[in-house]
Structure 1
Amino acid sequence: MSAAVPTQTQALLVELLTEELPPKALDRLGKAFSEGIRKILAQHHLLAEGCGAVDFATPRRLAVRFDAVLERAPDQSFTEKLMPARIGLDDSGAATPALTKKLTSKGLGHLSVGDLVTESDGKQDYLYARGMAAGKLLSEGLQEALDHAIGSLPIPKVMRYQLADGVTSVKFVRPAHRLVVLWGDTIVPARALGLTSGRRTLGHRFMSEGDIEITTAASYEQQLAAQGKVVASFDGRRGLIREQLLTRAADVGATIGEGAEVDALLDEVTALVEHPTVYAGQFDEQFLAVPQECLILTMRLNQKYFPLFEPDSGKLTHRFLIVSNMQVDDPSNIIEGNERVVRPRLADARFFFETDLKTPLPDRVVGLASSVYHNKLGSVFERVERVRRVSRHVAEQFGLNPARAGRAALLAKADLSSSMVGEFPELQGIMGAYYAAADGEPEDVVRAIRDQYLIRLDAPVTDATLTSTVLFIAERVETLVGIWGIGLAPTGERDPFGLRRAALGLISAYEQLRAGGYLKVSDSNTLALDTLLEAAAGTFKRGVIAGGTTQEIEAFIYERYRNQLAGEADRNVIDAVLALAPPLHQVQARIQACSAFAGRPEAVSLAAANKRIANLLKKAESAPGEVDAEHLQEPAERALADTIATLAPQARAQFEQGEFAASLATMAGARDAVDAFFKDVMVMAENPAVRANRLALLASLHRLMNQVADISRLAQ
């Protein structure tokens, strides 16, 4: 019978006070610290049912509070498998030394043989110890939880530091100075990183009233806010900052913008302040002559400011917002100080831009010969020449002037030697586009340079974006063939050269070329993937690219497409279409057609028949030849031959016109003849000529049915 379950619960607080934590990792560290402690307390049944948790993370602390924690866990029943009975008991049934040693090692030395039970595991009798184990005390479980949480934190870089005794050293993300552990209003004894638990913590470095003595676990957040001027919750602080940013921006008729960059900056500043207050600053409007991407990046990256934009046009204004860690009555010194700090940054950006403009973009290309792309693939200049050749090949497929595409490829990487990109690598392509425009390059070339680093194409290709698309394709194909060809294919989660991303980008280009009308669904030859990959492989020096590379990449691309399509259609339909490795721009249309066919009443029968045909053809002694009408003996096989002859011209014509659904619907008319054939005809006849003729008949049917997809896959 189990012991009484403890009922007294109180809130539990654990706080680790440190020096400034890495801002980009703070939110992750806070959640991991909370989860690490929760996991172990839950394992020991110290959390009451429905117990909630709140995690806290500020630049100088990681903390968590649980609503309802037991002082001692309920007693727990246990079953411990010990050893085979023949080893644990001697002939008289007494414990052997081996059993005694085992019980002692398990902390069960107080048990006798009479306390054990013998049960069979299906092979032999085993000895088991069963009973009730005393519930873990909170102080014991908490220490284990604290050790686990600290030891399993996703620390980006560990540092070793010496403790106050001048002898002992510990490793942690940053030096830790205080440990607070309270259950209700009671200190729970615990140790971590050379610290002993207490109830005193610190607030804001400058605005706090001094040391803060936390009264109870439940009062932690309120006391830090009131006495320490610290907003302890990361999410709460983030929400407060965002609200202030939006209000301040609206006050001056502007916006902070949107997107991943804004969210990332918001996360970072949340991790830099404990008491956020937003102030507005401005800079000289003359700096707006510099490309706004340069100014935005330097303010966000270097100063952690939020640039402000015109609501309608999205154009950068000369104002910005500062997230300060201080709230003061007169913020003029803070604002003026930040305006003074940002001025030289913006001046540097202007200097880089104006200096770069003095060297035409084409003159920078030759300098790429001294920049190594990869030691096995040569310089960046050599890569540019390869991409240029592939671009010309792709351009010819669409009637685009190869010289125009080649020009875009030639200039695409020229900005890598510019001062601006040297300072801000994130501006690759963007600055090249500005410099190309300043040099008077054609608009489509400028656009191609700017768009080359897009992850994927999201809009139908137009005349204005065709050059961009050509360069986009050429660069990704060259990357795939080159990197894969020297043995650096992705493995597991590792893909340092972004080949998966390149493959998906290439797929998107085919889709948008189709959407823009440059690739017709009926066109199976323009920009054929295998030919494109071979053309790219041909741009490398002999012996650089491993044999079989293009075939491996082609399979890789179709596998990426398979993963991308998962969830958009039935898996069997996707497999049926991709089994034929069709032109990439036809995949979506074929899937739609195959999905419609799969819903027809004839689909199940024809898919099963197709699978049967495939198995029979695998067993054929030789490749099937042409059907000989003189060897058609049975009425059912003659009927099938007549059906094929009737349906084939229409089905082929529909397929060639890209009418995949219609082609499959036409072939659905063969069901009755196919069913009758397999019912009445023995395919593997004894007469070799008859058998070969029947296999030839089935082979012709198989080719006709599988023009759009491998229909047999629908029967899986």
Structure 2
Amino acid sequence: MSNAVRNLLVELLVEEMPPKSLWKLGNSFATELFGQLKAQGLLEETSRATAYASPRRLGVHITDVRSGTPERVEKKKLMPSSIAFNPDSSWSQALRKRLAKDEIGEIDIERGNFSLVRSVDGTTEYVYLEGTNGGEPLRELLNLCLIVVIRNLPIPKAMTYQLADGWTDETFVRPAHALVALHGTDIVPIKALGLTAGRATRGHRFEVNDKAVELRNADSYEHQLETEGAVIASFVKRRDAIIRQLKAATAEEGLNMIEDEALLDEVTALVERPNVLVGTFDRTFLDVPQECLILTMKANQKYFPLLDENGRLSHKFLIVSNIRPPDAGEIITGNERVLRSRLADAKFFFDQDRKKTLASRVEGLRRVVYHHKLGTQAERVERIWAVAQAIGLQLGGNELAAQAGEAAMLCKADLLTDMVGEFPELQGIMGRYYAKHDGLSDDVADAIEDHYKPRFAGDELPRNLTGISVALADKLETLVGMFGIAQIPTGDKDPFALRRHALGVIRILIEQEVPLPLDTLLREAENVFNRRINDTSETLNRFIYERLRHYFSIESFDEQALESSKRVSVEPADRIFSPQQIDAVLALRPQMLHDVKKRLYAVRAFAALPEAESLAATNKRVGNILKKADVSINAEVDAALLQAPAEQDLYHALSRIAPEAEKTFRDGDYSTSLQILAGLRGPVDGFFDHVMVNTEDESLRHNRLALLAQLQQAMNRVADISRLA
């Protein structure tokens, strides 16, 4: 069968799709159809896919697609003839079962689709199944593939709609109106979603009045849509066009645009022929906090706010329109009018909110449920207040404790304001503005905003000790409380963002070098629940150390966070630690997280020493010996029982080196401590070469076990060195 190889185009024309899902839907449609066709043997090695996605269409262009699969003769070895046939030459039950697995019955053999052939292999006669596979045309396989792709698309919420016959229902992301399938110049007559494929698509809904565009061939799709249909079909090209226009307009105005990749993707998914315009609003609105105005413009209207050279919001903004009329004045005026009412609402909320102090709102939190097992937001605030005061006391004494307590008591009060009710994303931010308006100190006001930080990977950390105290208290209260009522993340499900809270605790303790032990912090947080929850210590500890492992792993280490930390200065190569090095440090569960990084650097430097491999292996051997010991080991060594010269050498070396290593360890010089311990390699190797630990003499055995226990204790102060083996 001769198979022509041509380029293929498939497009689904639908009603406007959800903009936040379009990029994912477009990519999935293209990659899945490409993969399905490849699996069917319809593609060449040179085949490539190009995805198209606009508000009203999902499409893919695939090069070098065969018009059908080639026929091929297949021969499959089944079983020995003696098992395949009964004495009367009829099929045995074993043969029927084997053929049933391949969905082949006697009718297929009778029709000649397949045949059973006997052939000798060595000394045994076997039965082989011979048949012709392939030869399926593109139209059949493409139809099957498209149905599978449609069924598997990552549709966030499907819509069920009725077809034109008034009886049949279909389910898709949005109602589909046309299907295009072209193999070169030929229509592939496939069917899907109640549609039969043709060559006609439709252009821009407004620019060309939804005019039909008759596609000449698969390769003319993109060009014809742009020239005849006023549509840039490629999501990537449309996005690039928007970026170019945004930059040109920004430069012309002498202002700076706020970069927002998510907003850019969403706007790209809303337009088919982008046209960037400049709008303005009344400068009096600039008295409202710029975060409110920016969020209003971006979230509600999908505008791009512009900043001046000082980073302050200007009264100009950029509109990405979907049409290009000769005179854009009416479009600009209409958008300005809509924005004006939005900004007026924001100004009204801001003015109304400032009529009440934050302190006067705290009592209202008693009417807001936090969690039915953990009480109201007021009860939660009281717990955060207690933990924040305890942390503040340890970090800065009574004055810091008082400030932390004041900020903690007010940190959730802005949840009851009109502005946060309208824009939940502004919680904390508005609290800071209202605290400043109430005359509170900068430290307290900043802490009210900062206690939510870090909100996401790479986000800023609290800017002062008051903020650190409240941020830690807030996150610890959430972690302990949720773990205490068994609301533990499973798989991808983490409704209370506990992974983010744990990472926030880790980042604050490490990157801001907070000298507080983790176990003490968790105990403080658990105490404020007054036995209202179950014990969480072991489960929560394990969870936090798993996040810590993730934080330091090669794949997920947050370089941006490191660069933002003013107290840490390391080269890019220093940011990478091997899994074994991370495992060695975290095996000891160090409670002072701020020096875990120093331990990792020390372990990495130690691992590069020529003595490291031998000492790690020996350390592992020592651990195994001590685990198998059938007696409790006394760490005191009796020097008088040291008979062999090798064990005497190890004892004297350990007596000399261990105190020196311990001193540098206590001084926080972990690298030097491990380098000093590297000097034990010779005596350790000599001990295991010439000394039998498990001797029959009980007193000698116990003494040698004690010597090994001392060795293990000395070696594993910085990390569990055996994990490097």
* Alignment TM-score, normalising by the size of structure 1: 0.92
**What is the SS of the residue equivalent to 1:472?**
helix
Question: Match for 1:684 among 690, 694, 701?
Answer: 694
Q: Check 1:320–1:593 CA distance in 2 against 1; reply closer, same or farther (3 A cut).
A: same
Q: Check 1:346–1:645 CA distance in 2 against 1; reply closer, same or farther (3 A cut).
A: same
Q: 1:553 — aligned with what?
A: 540
1:428 aligns with 2:427: yes
**What is the SS of the residue equivalent to 2:696?**
coil
Are the aligned partners of 1:457 and 1:509 in contact in 2 as well (CA < 8 Å)? no
Aligned residues: 692
- What is the distance in 2 between the residues matched to 1:360 and 1:693? 71
Query: Which deviates more from structure 2 when the two are superposed, residues 395-404 or residues 16-25?
Result: 395-404
Post-superposition Cα deviations, 1:122-155, rounded to whole Å, max 9, x if no partner, equal xx99754234423321111111121111111111
1:602 aligns with 2:602: no
- What is the distance in 2 between the residues matched to 1:263 and 1:5? 48
Deviation, 1:14, is 1.2
- What is the distance in 2 between the residues matched to 1:292 and 1:36? 43
Amino acid of the residue matched to residue 151 of structure 1?
A: R
1:155 aligns with 2:155: yes
- What is the distance in 2 between the residues matched to 1:132 and 1:12? 27
- What is the distance in 2 between the residues matched to 1:509 and 1:266? 31
Are the aligned partners of 1:103 and 1:109 in contact in 2 as well (CA < 8 Å)? no
Are the aligned partners of 2:51 and 2:61 in contact in 1 as well (CA < 8 Å)? yes
Question: Match for 1:661 among 665, 671, 674?
Answer: 671
- What is the distance in 2 between the residues matched to 1:106 and 1:248? 72
1:572 aligns with 2:580: yes
Alignment of 1:428-507 (within 5 A): 428-455=427-454, 465-507=464-506
Q: 1:591 — aligned with what?
A: 600
Question: Match for 2:324 among 317, 323, 327?
Answer: 327
- What is the distance in 2 between the residues matched to 1:606 and 1:129? 61
- What is the distance in 1 between the residues matched to 2:526 and 2:386? 11
- What is the distance in 2 between the residues matched to 1:626 and 1:674? 18
Q: 1:612 — aligned with what?
A: 621
- What is the distance in 1 between the residues matched to 2:197 and 2:530? 66
Deviation, 1:92, is 4.5
- What is the distance in 1 between the residues matched to 2:604 and 2:133? 59
Deviation, 1:112, is 8.8
**What is the SS of the residue equivalent to 2:42?**
coil
Q: Check 1:229–1:628 CA distance in 2 against 1; reply closer, same or farther (3 A cut).
A: same
- What is the distance in 2 between the residues matched to 1:235 and 1:105? 54
Question: Match for 2:297 among 296, 299, 302?
Answer: 299
Post-superposition Cα deviations, 1:481-523, rounded to whole Å, max 9, x if no partner, equal 1111110111122222111111111111111232xxx53xxxx
Deviation, 1:603, is 1.7
- What is the distance in 1 between the residues matched to 2:119 and 2:593? 65
Question: Match for 1:21 among 17, 23, 27?
Answer: 17
1:37 aligns with 2:33: yes
Are the aligned partners of 2:31 and 2:49 in contact in 1 as well (CA < 8 Å)? no
Q: 1:225 — aligned with what?
A: 226
Q: Check 1:157–1:665 CA distance in 2 against 1; reply closer, same or farther (3 A cut).
A: same
Deviation, 1:109, is 4.8
Amino acid of the residue matched to residue 472 of structure 1?
A: A
- What is the distance in 2 between the residues matched to 1:141 and 1:484? 51
Amino acid of the residue matched to residue 600 of structure 2?
A: I
- What is the distance in 1 between the residues matched to 2:457 and 2:49? 43
1:538 aligns with 2:524: no
Are the aligned partners of 2:113 and 2:131 in contact in 1 as well (CA < 8 Å)? no
Are the aligned partners of 1:273 and 1:325 in contact in 2 as well (CA < 8 Å)? yes
Are the aligned partners of 1:44 and 1:136 in contact in 2 as well (CA < 8 Å)? no
Gaps of 5+ in 1: 520-526
Q: Check 1:670–1:67 CA distance in 2 against 1; reply closer, same or farther (3 A cut).
A: closer
**What is the SS of the residue equivalent to 1:532?**
helix
Deviation, 1:566, is 2.0
- What is the distance in 2 between the residues matched to 1:44 and 1:460? 50
Question: Match for 1:69 among 65, 68, 77?
Answer: 65
Q: 1:411 — aligned with what?
A: 410
* Alignment TM-score, normalising by the size of structure 2: 0.91
Deviation, 1:52, is 1.9
- What is the distance in 1 between the residues matched to 2:546 and 2:375? 29
Amino acid of the residue matched to residue 641 of structure 2?
A: H
Are the aligned partners of 1:41 and 1:47 in contact in 2 as well (CA < 8 Å)? yes
Q: 2:273 — aligned with what?
A: 275
Query: Which deviates more from structure 2 when the two are superposed, residues 423-432 or residues 42-51?
Result: 42-51
Query: Which deviates more from structure 2 when the two are superposed, residues 551-560 or residues 99-108?
Result: 99-108
Q: 1:379 — aligned with what?
A: 376
Deviation, 1:540, is 0.4
Are the aligned partners of 2:115 and 2:129 in contact in 1 as well (CA < 8 Å)? no
Q: Check 1:84–1:240 CA distance in 2 against 1; reply closer, same or farther (3 A cut).
A: farther
Are the aligned partners of 1:32 and 1:153 in contact in 2 as well (CA < 8 Å)? yes
**What is the SS of the residue equivalent to 2:104?**
helix
- What is the distance in 2 between the residues matched to 1:239 and 1:370? 49
Deviation, 1:421, is 0.3
- What is the distance in 2 between the residues matched to 1:387 and 1:305? 38
Q: Check 1:113–1:9 CA distance in 2 against 1; reply closer, same or farther (3 A cut).
A: closer
Q: Check 1:118–1:416 CA distance in 2 against 1; reply closer, same or farther (3 A cut).
A: farther
Q: 1:348 — aligned with what?
A: 345
Post-superposition Cα deviations, 1:247-275, rounded to whole Å, max 9, x if no partner, equal 111111112212xxx21111111111111
- What is the distance in 1 between the residues matched to 2:118 and 2:291? 75
Deviation, 1:466, is 1.4
- What is the distance in 1 between the residues matched to 2:459 and 2:271? 41
Are the aligned partners of 2:587 and 2:719 in contact in 1 as well (CA < 8 Å)? yes
Post-superposition Cα deviations, 1:390-414, rounded to whole Å, max 9, x if no partner, equal 1111112212421111111111111
1:652 aligns with 2:662: yes
Q: 1:563 — aligned with what?
A: 550
Post-superposition Cα deviations, 1:154-201, rounded to whole Å, max 9, x if no partner, equal 111111111111111111111111111111221111111111111222
**What is the SS of the residue equivalent to 1:300?**
helix
Alignment of 1:133-152 (within 5 A): 133-152=133-152
Alignment of 1:385-404 (within 5 A): 385-400=382-397, 401-404=400-403
Q: 1:524 — aligned with what?
A: none
1:369 aligns with 2:366: yes
- What is the distance in 2 between the residues matched to 1:328 and 1:119? 80
- What is the distance in 2 between the residues matched to 1:697 and 1:460? 49
Are the aligned partners of 2:633 and 2:702 in contact in 1 as well (CA < 8 Å)? no
Deviation, 1:682, is 2.0
The share of aligned pairs that are identical, in percent, is 48
Deviation, 1:74, is 2.1
Deviation, 1:36, is 2.5
Amino acid of the residue matched to residue 271 of structure 2?
A: V
Amino acid of the residue matched to residue 686 of structure 2?
A: A
Question: Match for 1:674 among 684, 692, 701?
Answer: 684
Q: 1:522 — aligned with what?
A: none
Query: Which deviates more from structure 2 when the two are superposed, residues 8-17 or residues 280-289?
Result: 8-17
- What is the distance in 2 between the residues matched to 1:107 and 1:657? 83
- What is the distance in 2 between the residues matched to 1:574 and 1:390? 30
**What is the SS of the residue equivalent to 1:674?**
helix
Question: Match for 2:717 among 692, 707, 713?
Answer: 707
Are the aligned partners of 1:457 and 1:508 in contact in 2 as well (CA < 8 Å)? no
1:626 aligns with 2:636: yes
Q: 1:167 — aligned with what?
A: 167
Deviation, 1:623, is 2.9
Post-superposition Cα deviations, 1:37-71, rounded to whole Å, max 9, x if no partner, equal 21221122222331222211111111111222221
Question: Match for 2:56 among 60, 63, 79?
Answer: 60
Post-superposition Cα deviations, 1:226-262, rounded to whole Å, max 9, x if no partner, equal 111111111111111111111111111112212xxx2
